[in-house]
Amino acid sequence: MTLRPERPATIRQVAERVGTSIATVSYVLNGKDRAMRKELREAVWTAARDLGYVGNAAARALKGMQRGLIAVLVPQFGNNFFTRICVEVEAVMRDAGSVVITGNSDEDPAQERSILERLIAQQIDGCIIAPALSRPENLELLARHGVPTVILERSIGADIPSTDFVGHDNFGAGLLATRQLIAAGHRRIAYAGWNSPIANIHDRIEGYRAALAEVDVVPDPAWVLIDDLTLAGGRQVGERLAGLDVTALVIGHHHELAKGILGELGRQGRRWPEDLSIVLIGTPEWRDLVRPSLACIERPEGEMGRRAAELLLKKVETPAHVAPALLLANTFLPGGSIAPPRVP
């Protein structure tokens, strides 16, 4: 009689023994568990020893992974908001035994579709995507091919099968930024933003308007300055600011638009906060290099990446799994760019 060798224990069995998720077990076994309770860590290690678990590629296949390939598709490689998210996604997926393929749609829906078609041909196990536009067509392509998907940051307002959503509170970002300026005594507050049809971009503007409504201020339409996310667009916004009777500004985007605005203010000889108080949505690397430093709304990029990756792992493991939309809160970072308005 020939004895069949026992099948090795899987990470799924360890998770079931402990009563937790595969992602949690992966964190513990790969030493990424510092934020977890001691009792949970000990339970995972005990279950792994008792079951004789040894991590390997076969275990990855048993939890739903066919090739160990996860795609992340973002619309702006040059935007460190997405870069920071990608770094965290890659860390989580590496711990789970997967390789991340990253693509850039460059805000072009046609390019996005071409990339998705190639990724699907590569038989990716799942996809995290920040859509180029708030339209469902390209996401429906993923759904038709049964690719588990997590939508990042940009809600499309449509029910797409096999998708979850992780974003941050864009309305809250505009609200929080404007409230900081109101608290300093400002009422004539401008907003600089991106000329885009994407829904979450407009949510920030609505947050700005809502904060002003709390103090019975209806903003002059000229106070809302919309342009391209470029240095040239920022310079044009700065030029238009010179003709406005405002004492403060919310800059809705922290990359090239913000640099163009600040550069133009400097060219005009205008200083912050003496001539104009400023709050910036986002945290650029150069924030502390300008003087005074800028007050900012910090968005939870790292947590967004981690939560998106964990949600996708659950969807790969259990395709029918549907999680509620996850909207994460922002944080205000004080800086030297806010002061009370000058008395004429």
Domains of the chain, CATH where assigned: 11-55 (no CATH), 69-168+301-328 (3.40.50.2300), 170-299 (3.40.50.2300)
Bond before 273 cis per omega within 30 degrees: yes
Phi, psi of 248 (to 5 degrees): -150, 160
| pLDDT of res. 61 | 43
In angstroms, rounded to a whole number, what is the distance separating the alpha carbons of residues 158 and 149?
Answer: 14
| pLDDT of res. 323 | 83
| pLDDT of res. 39 | 84
DSSP-assigned beta bridge partners for residue 72: 102, 128
Residue with tokens 């300093």: 184
| pLDDT of res. 312 | 94
Sheet-wide strand order for 331-333: 224-227, 189-194, 248-251, 277-281, 295-298, 331-333
- pLDDT profile of the chain (344 residues), mean per 10: 50 88 78 69 84 56 63 90 94 91 92 91 91 81 89 78 87 98 98 89 96 98 93 95 95 91 95 96 90 95 96 87 89 97 80
| pLDDT of res. 278 | 98
Cβ atoms 283, 66 nearer than 8 A: no
Question: Dihedral angle at the C-alpha atoms of 302, 296, 260, 154, nearest 10 degrees?
Answer: 40
Residue with tokens 């038989």: 123
| pLDDT of res. 3 | 34
Nearest to 333 by CA among 293, 290, 306: 293
Question: Pairing between strand 331-333 and 295-298?
Answer: antiparallel
- Chain Cα centroid distance, residue 174: 16
| pLDDT of res. 235 | 96
| pLDDT of res. 1 | 34
Q: Which residues contact 53 (CB under 8 A, 6 or more apart)?
A: 8, 9, 10, 11, 13, 14, 29, 47, 59
Three-state SS annotation for the chain: CCCCCCCCCCHHHHHHHHCCCHHHHHHHHCCCCCCCCHHHHHHHHHHHHHHCCCCCHHHHHHCCCCCCEEEEEECCCCCHHHHHHHHHHHHHHHHCCCEEEEEECCCCHHHHHHHHHHHHHCCCCEEEECCCCCCCHHHHHHHHCCCCEEEECCCCCCCCCCEEEEEECHHHHHHHHHHHHHHCCCCCEEEEEECCCCHHHHHHHHHHHHHHHCCCCCCCHHHEEEECCCHHHHHHHHHHHCCCCCCEEEECCCCHHHHHHHHHHHHHCCCCCCCCEEEEECCCCCHHHCCCCCEEEECCHHHHHHHHHHHHHHHHHCCCCCCCCEEECCEEECCCCCCCCCCC
Cβ atoms 53, 10 nearer than 8 A: yes
pTM of the model: 0.78
